[in-house]
Amino acid sequence: MTLIGSELLVEIVSLAVYAVLAVVFTVVGVLAESASLQHLGGNDLFLAGWLAAIGFVMLYAGIYAVGYRKLVMHANEVLAA
């Protein structure tokens, strides 16, 4: 395998890892927010608030921190080269 081919393979693998992390964080965040709404309906305000906070952090991590700042920016660099 040539040097250019191996570098491209490393870039593709790193993009795939970022994509999987973004999806996992986002799905866990949505599930936490859903559980928060269920506990809110059951009048368990403390647990509902805690799950809402965890869901917000996970959604932030999945959509912005990993999804946008890592995945999209890294993909732009790879595709521009």
| In-domain check, residue 7 | no
Residue the block writes with tokens 């949505």: 30
Q: How many domains does the chain have?
A: 1
| In-domain check, residue 19 | yes
Res 8: pLDDT: 83
The pTM of this model reads: 0.85
Query: 81 is written with which tokens?
Result: 């080269």
- Judge contact between 30 and 55, C-beta under 8 A: yes
Rg, Å, the chain Cα set: 18
Residue 43: what are its φ and ψ, rounded to 5°? 65, 30
Residue 9 amino acid letter: L
| In-domain check, residue 1 | no
Range of the domain at 38: 12-80
Res 76: pLDDT: 87
Cα torsion angle, 72, 77, 80, 81, sign? negative
| In-domain check, residue 3 | no
> How do residues 34-80 score in pLDDT, each as one tens digit?
999 999 999 999 999 999 999 999 999 999 999 999 888 888 888 88
| In-domain check, residue 5 | no
